[in-house]
Amino acid sequence: MPKVLAQGKTSECMRRANRQKILQQNGIDLYNSGAKVINCRLIGSCSVQLQVEGKASKANWREGQRSLPPHSPIKNLGFACQTQLMGDVKVTNFDGFWGEGSQVVWTPKG
């Protein structure tokens, strides 16, 4: 079973599990400031991004909006709700309303 390391917590999940659901089920706060209010409920419209190191699915069609400001396709970020976990991963969250900033909010270790 894949392991997810985020905010100092390690969680196990089924392969192809949704990253947003796994993080929320394990008490990881993935939203910065008011972004929680517009939680998209897994359809990709809230645009909250996280960095994932490890085995995760490739970007899908909904993530095309990563090329629109304030997002940047050059950053190694993906929408929290659109990533499926294919193996062990480490997750990092950055500042900014959407997680698009350059300052780390939390790392895999805490």
Q: How confident is the model at residue 60 (pLDDT cuts 50, 70, 90)?
A: low
Number of domains forming the structure of the chain: 1
User: By the 8 A CB rule, do 78 and 52 touch?
Assistant: yes
Which are the contacts of 9, defined by CB distance < 8 A and separation ≥ 6? 26, 27, 28
Q: Is the pLDDT of residue 87 over 60?
A: yes
What residue numbers bound the domain in which 63 lies?
Answer: 3-106
The CATH number for 60's domain is 3.10.20.30
Give strand pairing partners of 58.
Answer: none
pLDDT of 58 reads: 75
98 in helix, strand or coil?
coil
Taking each continuous run of H as one helix and of E as one strand, the counts in the chain are: 1, 7
> Higher-confidence residue: 61 or 74?
74
